[in-house]
Structure 1
Amino acid sequence: MTATNTTTQSPENLTTDHSRATADEAHTHGQGAAAAGASRGDRGTSFALADFPLPNGREEDWRFTPVNRLQKIFAGDLTGEGPTVSVEHDDAVQVERVGRDDARLGNVGSPGDRASAAAWESFREAVVITVPKGHAEGEHTAITVAGQPGGAPDEPAAQHLLVVAEELSESLVVLDHRGGAHLSQTVEIDVRDGAHLTLISIQDWDDGAIHVASHRARLGRDARLKHIVVTLGGDVVRLTPESSFAAPGGDVEMLGLYFTDSGQHQEHRLFVDHAVESCKSRVTYKGALQGASAHAVWIGDVLIRKAAEGTDTYELNRNLVLTEGARADSVPNLEIETGEIAGAGHASATGRFDDEQLFYLRSRGIDEADARRLVVRGFFAELINQIGVPLVQERLMTAIDVELDHTMEAAAR
């Protein structure tokens, strides 16, 4: 089945909800996809930059992206001064800085677009974080990627990170991006048999930063991954998180939160590849937008291959448009090549700020600023509570309040 929905900001609330498909429905739609020959799995991947033509913005993978602002990354040879990487960890976790010839690198999938191929060809050193077998979750591992303060450098840089959660381990890794950067980044995530890993990636860049990142995750037998993306700052931020299953019993939960401000482009383009039987995936992304030319893009591709019987999957995207001039594009895609599934579906909605909710709160003596804050906090609260890390949750709520204060200040002028 190939089911595609696009939602953009308009004067009316636009909502689509595609409920979970039954096995018979999936089988019928799967025949249609085969006839169309439009499978997500047919897209090529390669470690060679030359295998990807220079994007012009008309390609499916780049049609929402301001490609003119990424030309230096597309050119390859990313030799600029990149952000520094520092890691705080407990004694059991191993942190190494290795050369690009290290045999552990490049084993979790391969680049799927020109920007990620450029990152692969250009990095010289990688940071490898290994959580040992049987490790019990204690203090989280904090990876800080610190760019230059005061703006992004002209020349782009490449960066490579590998996180390995060995068998039967439990761990929490927080990847925190700050400062100014012009960066093409690869994050490999290897979750081995029986391991449980939570990885949180926070994009809190300074104004003007450009960040293009490919997160590629592979789950072993009965492995569990909670992958959380939080995007707040930067000029152009484009993340492509991908998850694949190497053995049955895998469970991936992909959560995302973004707040897109005036002039920002924030794009999250996900792919979940169900290639083996009896695996589960859940995707939930929520975003708020405000200000002229604020643009958020969410693409959710889920592929259930013929061998992936017993798959259970669902994806959801919600966007809240707070002001005029902001635009959200939301495109969920679901392809099913087998009728023997536990369930599959997706939902997407984009809507304006609810004036009725605002009126209700103000009629009870709450001023407009606090009423708006309550509505937006309520929109994000359920998702933020799923993060499960109090320090991160508090930071996000504070960041949301700051963004809302900017809105009120702009409206008062």
Structure 2
Amino acid sequence: MTTATPKTIETAGTAAPKHMRSAVPVQTRSDRFKSTVVSEFPDVTGREAVWKYTPVARLAELISGELDGAPYMFDATVASGVSTEWVGRDDARIGSAGTPEDRASANAWTAFQQALVISVTGDDDKEFTLTRSALGSGPRAAHTVVVAAPNSRATLILQNSGAAHLTENVEFVLGDGAHLTVVTVQEWDDDALHVATHFASIGKDALLKHVAVTLGGGVVRLNPSAHLAGERADAELYGAYFADAGQHLEQQVYVFHDAPATRSRVTYKGALQGVGARTVWIGDVLIGPKAVGTDTYEQNRNLVLTDGARADSVPNLEIETGDIVGAGHASATGRFDDEQLFYLQSRGITEDEARRLVVRGFLAEIVQQIGSPALQERLHAAIEAELESVVTVGS
């Protein structure tokens, strides 16, 4: 069991103007500076703890540039108990789940003109898909708020494809007893840029299952955070990603246990191939002083398929109470298991096909968590297409 090393940032409170902030040590993950105003954040240099793995030069227009915050076109399926509406910045639901902790998130918050609110009601199981495929290549900001009413149940699929230079915030507010599955799929064009922060507030006896699948985009940085605010709140965060040459796929996950008897499971798996393929996973779990009886575990696994690819994996765990059920983390990055390859080849399977079978099975654990057969089948096919171009790792 470990604790995260305290870092130093500029802050004097969550609303302090830039000129009033001074360098003080951050004692815990929840103490990071927060603001919805981009000017409250210093310029990003790439040396900051939250940016040091990120190609900030490629994202400069999203971090600090002017953004188009107007509403955009989207397609949505029809599901009983699920509705969408555009609302003004003064809507009380905005900001219910979290506040930006980095400049790109704050830039999006400062720039959006209207927020898209998705409301979920009814205790029957339902599936709703929102598709964005025509955002264009201009720098854009967006804000989405998903409100799941108490005891409601739904699967929400956020499908992203096409061109995009997008920075956004997405909030999930789960009422007591709500069960919400969120599947976010990134299949952007090869030159797309996407920076997203997902905030979730989970009420008493509520369950959030968050599944992030990233297969496309030039630079994709997706940071999900879950605040287990109610007693017996439950969060399951899953991720699957496949990086090709020149792609940078990054996830910074944060789970905050802030109430008694809460539970969380974090499992992210990734595969990389090609020169310059890069993945980053940072997992922060904080068990607060009120979170007695916490049960948590996080893990990240990466398969490097070719030379020239790089995976960074950093799990962190902070515990502020001694009365817990269990807490742990694990991280592993490596090439194929030679014993698995030998076993498959000894049964007449070619080496290339054996490698594809291993990777397919490796990522299938995450895809199977989605619970939508049609989407699972399509994602399995997309992963298979990625595997067709796998180059064998040299011995």
With structure 1 as the length reference, what TM-score do the two structures score? 0.87
Q: Is residue 159 of structure 1 aligned with residue 142 of structure 2? A: yes
The DSSP-based 3-state class of the residue aligned with 1:406 is coil
What residue identity is the alignment partner of 1:224? L
Q: Which has the higher helix share?
A: 1
What is aligned with 1:317? 300
1:221 CA displacement: 0.7
Correspondent of 2:94 among 93, 105, 108: 105
Q: Is residue 306 of structure 1 aligned with residue 289 of structure 2? A: yes
1:225-264 matches, within 5 Å, as: 225-264=208-247
What is aligned with 1:135? 123
Q: 1:2 to 1:40 in 2, by over 3 A?
A: farther
Superposed CA deviations along residues 234-284 of structure 1, whole A, max 9, x for unmatched, are 000001100002221100000100001110000000101111211111100
What is aligned with 1:72? 61
1:82 CA displacement: 7.8
Two-structure CA RMSD over aligned residues (Å): 1.9
1:309 CA displacement: 0.9
What is aligned with 2:257? 274
Answer yes or no: is the 8 Å Cα contact 2:71–2:113 preserved in 1.
no
Answer yes or no: is the 8 Å Cα contact 2:70–2:112 preserved in 1.
no
Q: Is residue 363 of structure 1 aligned with residue 346 of structure 2? A: yes
1:212-223 matches, within 5 Å, as: 212-223=195-206
1:85 CA displacement: 2.2
What is aligned with 2:16? none
CA distance in 1 between counterparts of 2:324 and 2:286 reads 12
What is aligned with 1:33? none
Answer yes or no: is the 8 Å Cα contact 2:228–2:235 preserved in 1.
no
Stretch moving more, 357-366 or 234-243 = 357-366
CA distance in 1 between counterparts of 2:70 and 2:276 reads 29
Q: Is residue 171 of structure 1 aligned with residue 154 of structure 2? A: yes
What is aligned with 2:74? 85
CA distance in 1 between counterparts of 2:204 and 2:71 reads 36
Correspondent of 1:186 among 154, 159, 169: 169
1:7-156 matches, within 5 Å, as: 38-79=27-68, 84-132=73-121, 134-138=122-126, 140-147=127-134, 153=137, 155-156=138-139
Superposed CA deviations along residues 309-340 of structure 1, whole A, max 9, x for unmatched, are 11111001000000000000000000001101
Answer yes or no: is the 8 Å Cα contact 1:81–1:156 preserved in 2.
no
1:303 CA displacement: 0.5
1:371 CA displacement: 1.3
The DSSP-based 3-state class of the residue aligned with 1:60 is coil
Answer yes or no: is the 8 Å Cα contact 2:4–2:318 preserved in 1.
no
What is aligned with 1:392? 375
Q: Is residue 3 of structure 1 aligned with residue 3 of structure 2? A: yes
1:124 CA displacement: 1.0
The DSSP-based 3-state class of the residue aligned with 2:94 is coil
CA distance in 1 between counterparts of 2:251 and 2:277 reads 14
Q: Is residue 207 of structure 1 aligned with residue 190 of structure 2? A: yes
Stretch moving more, 49-58 or 224-233 = 49-58
1:76 CA displacement: 4.0
The DSSP-based 3-state class of the residue aligned with 1:357 is helix
1:104 CA displacement: 1.4
Q: 1:367 to 1:82 in 2, by over 3 A?
A: farther
Answer yes or no: is the 8 Å Cα contact 1:82–1:147 preserved in 2.
no
Q: 1:94 to 1:83 in 2, by over 3 A?
A: closer
1:397 CA displacement: 1.2
After TM superposition, what 4+ stretches of structure 1 lie above 3 angstroms from structure 2?
1-5, 80-83
CA distance in 2 between counterparts of 1:200 and 1:382 reads 15
What residue identity is the alignment partner of 1:42? D
What residue identity is the alignment partner of 2:180? L
1:384 CA displacement: 2.2
1:56 CA displacement: 0.8
What residue identity is the alignment partner of 2:3? A
Stretch moving more, 321-330 or 366-375 = 366-375
What is the aligned residue count? Answer: 374
With structure 2 as the length reference, what TM-score do the two structures score? 0.91
CA distance in 2 between counterparts of 1:252 and 1:205 reads 27
Superposed CA deviations along residues 120-158 of structure 1, whole A, max 9, x for unmatched, are 0111122111112x33113x110101135xxx62x3100
Answer yes or no: is the 8 Å Cα contact 2:69–2:113 preserved in 1.
no
The DSSP-based 3-state class of the residue aligned with 2:390 is helix
Higher relative contact order (CA 8 A, sep 6+): 1
CA distance in 1 between counterparts of 2:301 and 2:72 reads 32
The DSSP-based 3-state class of the residue aligned with 2:290 is coil
Identical amino acids, percent of aligned pairs: 54
Answer yes or no: is the 8 Å Cα contact 1:76–1:119 preserved in 2.
no
1:2 CA displacement: 4.5
The DSSP-based 3-state class of the residue aligned with 1:198 is strand
1:4 CA displacement: 5.5
Answer yes or no: is the 8 Å Cα contact 2:232–2:259 preserved in 1.
no
